[in-house]
Chain A
Amino acid sequence: MAYPFQLGFQDATSPIMEELLHFHDHTLMIVFLISSLVLYIISLMLTTKLTHTSTMDAQEVETIWTILPAIILILIALPSLRILYMMDEINSPSLTVKTMGHQWYWSYEYTDSEDLSFDSYMIPTQELKPGELRLLEVDNRVVLPMEVTIRVLISSEDVLHSWAVPSLGLKTDAIPGRLNQTTLMGTRPGLYYGQCSEICGSNHSFMPIVLELVPLAYFEKWSASML
C-alpha cells in the first residue's frame, strides 16, 4: 500500500510492474532533461539585455529541433510497446477468478472446481480494528495463490468501475455487458491494496480491493473453508 512521504510507485509485486517501474524511470529521466533544458533557456531569455529583431529564417536549428524530438519519441515508444506486448503474452493461467463490480462493492467468483462466490465490502471507519488502514480494508479479501499465473475476468453488474491493484501493475475497466481479461502473477506473499478507478457514484472512493497472496496450501485450505 502507499506509505507516508512516498515519492514514486509502490514496490513491484509482479514482473510486469517491475518492467513498468524501469520504463517510468527511463521516460522520467528524458522528461526531466527536456524540462531542465527548457527552463534554462527560458532563464537565459529573461536575463539578457541583448535584442535581435531581424531574424528571417533558422533552417538549420529548425531541422535539428524536429529530428531530435522524433528520435527521443522513438526511444520512448520502443520500450513502451515492448511492455505492452509483454502484457498480452500467452501464459496459460492455472486459475481463473471472476470479479464483478457493483455499486458499491466487488464480488468475486472462483468457479474452476466449485461454486465459490462472495462479496467484498469496505470496512467502515468506525468498525476498523486498531492499526487497520482507513478506506482500504475489506471484510472478505481476495485470497490467491502466489507465484501462479491467474486469469482475472472483470465485468460490472451496473455502471462502469475499474479494478486496480497498483503494486501488481493492474488496472482494468469493469464495463457492464463486456468481459475484460487481465493476468495476475504475484511474486511475494502479503496484502496488496487497490481502489476502484472509475467514477461510479457516491461511494466510488469506498469500494477497495484487497488481494491476499498466500502459498498454495493456504489457498486450498481457504477455498475449502469458504464453501
Chain B
Amino acid sequence: MPPYTNYHAQRSYPMPDEPFCTELNAEQRALKEKEKGSWTQLTHDEKVALYRLQFHETFAEMNRRSNEWKTVMGCVFFFFGFTALMIWWQRIYVFPKKPVTLTDEWKAQQLQRILDMKGNPVQGLASRWDYEKKEWKK
C-alpha cells in the first residue's frame, strides 16, 4: 500500500515510513543517538540536518512552481495557429461555391417571407417583430 520510499517527495504521502538517508556516516549516527534524548538539547542546525536525513525535500521545495505551463500554453497556441492555417487554406482551395440562398438579398426576402407567415410568433422570430410599426421590437 505505501509507495516505495522517500526518494521523491509526494504531497499525497507526506510522512513515509522509510527515511530518505539510510546509509549514515559516523557523524550522522551520533546525531541520531542524540535525537533519542531531549529535543530541546538539539541546536537549530542539528534539527535541520535530522530533517534532511529523514525527508527528501521540505514542503516548500516539494510544492514549488515550475515553468511547465509556459511550454504547454505555447504548444496549445501553436496548434491553434496551425489549425487556423489549415481551415483558411481549406476555405480557399477546397470548399465549393455558397448557394444563392446565402446572399444578403435572398436572406432579406426569406426573412420577410417568414415574418409574413408569422413563423414562430409566440417566443421566436415573429414575436420580436412589431407588425404595427413595421420594425423590430425594442
Contacts and interface: CB of A to CB of B under 8 A. Distances in A.
Nearest to B118: A190
Interface stretch (A56-64, A80-88, A131-139, A147-155): A131-139
A190 B117 contact: yes
Interface residues of B, dominant DSSP: loop
A216 interface: no
A3 B113 contact: no
B88 interface: no
Interface residues of A, number: 20
A3 B118 contact: no
Given A49-B63, A51-B12, A188 B99 contact: no
A134 B13 contact: no
A36 interface: no
Contacts of B127: 11
B121 A11 contact: yes
A133 B123 CA distance: 21
A134 B106 CA distance: 10
Contacts of B83: none
A3 B114 contact: yes
Interface string A1-22: 1010010001110000000000
Interface residues of B, number: 25
A130 B124 contact: no
Contacts of A49: 11, 63
Contact of B121 (A125, A130, A134, A188): A188
Contacts, number: 52
A134 B63 CA distance: 60
A191 interface: yes
Nearest to A126: B100
B113 A132 contact: yes
Interface in B117-138: 117-125, 127
A53 interface: yes
Contacts of B122: 11-12
A206 B121 CA distance: 27
B13 A53 contact: yes
A84 to B, nearest CB: 24
Q: Which of B12, B118, B119 has the largest number of chain A CB atoms within 10 A?
A: B119
A74 to B, nearest CB: 29
7 contacts: A1-B119, A11-B120, A11-B123, A125-B99, A125-B101, A131-B106, A132-B113
4 nearest CB pairs, A to B:
A131-B109, A3-B125, A134-B101, A11-B122
Interface of B: 11-14, 63, 99-101, 105-106, 109-110, 112-114, 117-125, 127
Given A191-B117, A191-B119, 9 more contacts: A1-B119, A3-B114, A3-B120, A3-B124, A6-B124, A11-B127, A130-B106, A188-B118, A190-B119
